[in-house]
Amino acid sequence: MKPALAGVVVLAVLAMGAGADEVHLTNGDRMSGTVVSTTAGHVAIDMPGIGVVTVPEELVASVVRAEPSEPSATWVTSADVGVLLSTGNSRARDATVVLSGKRAAGRFEQLFGISLARSEGSGSTDNTCAMGCPRIRTRDQLDIDYEARWKTGPAWYLLGNFELFRDPIKEIDGRITLGAGGGRTLWERDAGSLTTDIGISQVRESLIGGNQNNPALRWGVTFNHWLQPERLELFHHNQLLKILDAARGAVWDSGSGIRFHLSDTWQASLRLDLQHETEPAPGREKTDATYSATLGIKF
């Protein structure tokens, strides 16, 4: 058989229980193992317990390769903690905790995030707090997110998402968002990725003035870029929730920063988290910004 070996060797992707390649010979025999070479003139296969066997191409009827086994799906998670303390005339205590995770299994992907930001302070400029002043909580935010994605192609995916947000200082005892939609990966390379999605949601809010249920439109963006491969990472994610009620307006959440991967286990980050409401409760600021330097662990 004189054509080029590529024309002689038939490469078929089949599911084989043993996960082995097979070389079928012209005399009907079959050899199992791992094909290590298909250069012109011969096929080399590494057979367990025997070693590498080289077969002339004229004796080869076909080569069947085993389907690559899917890696086991496991959660990849990380936790970042930042704490700031100050004493003297002005006393403050700030804490930021961010927990995130990702799990991919074939076309199905899950992502979750939990963030907690709390601040307490007391003080005066005339030393009246020398005997101690009561602490006042100035921030108390809890945000829990979960998202499931089903890939429908190389770039497109469907998604379902859940969010629980709580901020009693802004008179939000609880805001639950359930939604569905679709998204697209706009850019994905070794250097990073950019995805965006849009969908519809139902928002249930427990406010000081009572409960509200409203539909909403949701738009999200996730971006990361390696400034230095596997070491220095730029990241950003945001969500815009347009509640279809003029009295509630829109809610914008985002997290941006730079992450230093110190080792396979430890990481540090500088980040800015924003939470903006176009129609906050009376007497409350529209925007909360949290600046934090955190130390984290990957597990």
Yes or no: say if 142 and 161 are a contact pair by the CB < 8 Å rule: no
pLDDT of residue 247: 78
**In a 3-state reduction of DSSP, which class is residue 187?**
strand
pLDDT of residue 123: 55
pLDDT of residue 71: 57
The set of residues, in sequence order, having a beta carbon less than 8 Å from that of 171 and lying 6+ positions away, is 207, 208, 209, 281, 284
Q: How far apart are CA 48 and CA 30, in angstroms?
A: 14
Say whether pLDDT at 89 is over 70.
no
pLDDT of residue 41: 82
Say whether pLDDT at 8 is over 50.
no
- Higher per-residue pLDDT: 91 or 28: 28
**211-239 mean pLDDT:** 94
List pLDDT tens digits, range 42-66.
888 888 888 888 899 889 898 888 7
CA-nearest of 280, 235, 163 to 288 is 280
pLDDT of residue 85: 74
Partners of 64 in beta bridges: 12, 22
Q: How far apart are CA 47 and CA 145, in angstroms?
A: 49
Yes or no: say if 199 and 161 are a contact pair by the CB < 8 Å rule: yes
- Higher per-residue pLDDT: 264 or 12: 264
List pLDDT tens digits, range 100-129.
999 988 889 999 999 999 888 765 545 555
Per-residue confidence at 16, pLDDT binned at 50, 70, 90? very low
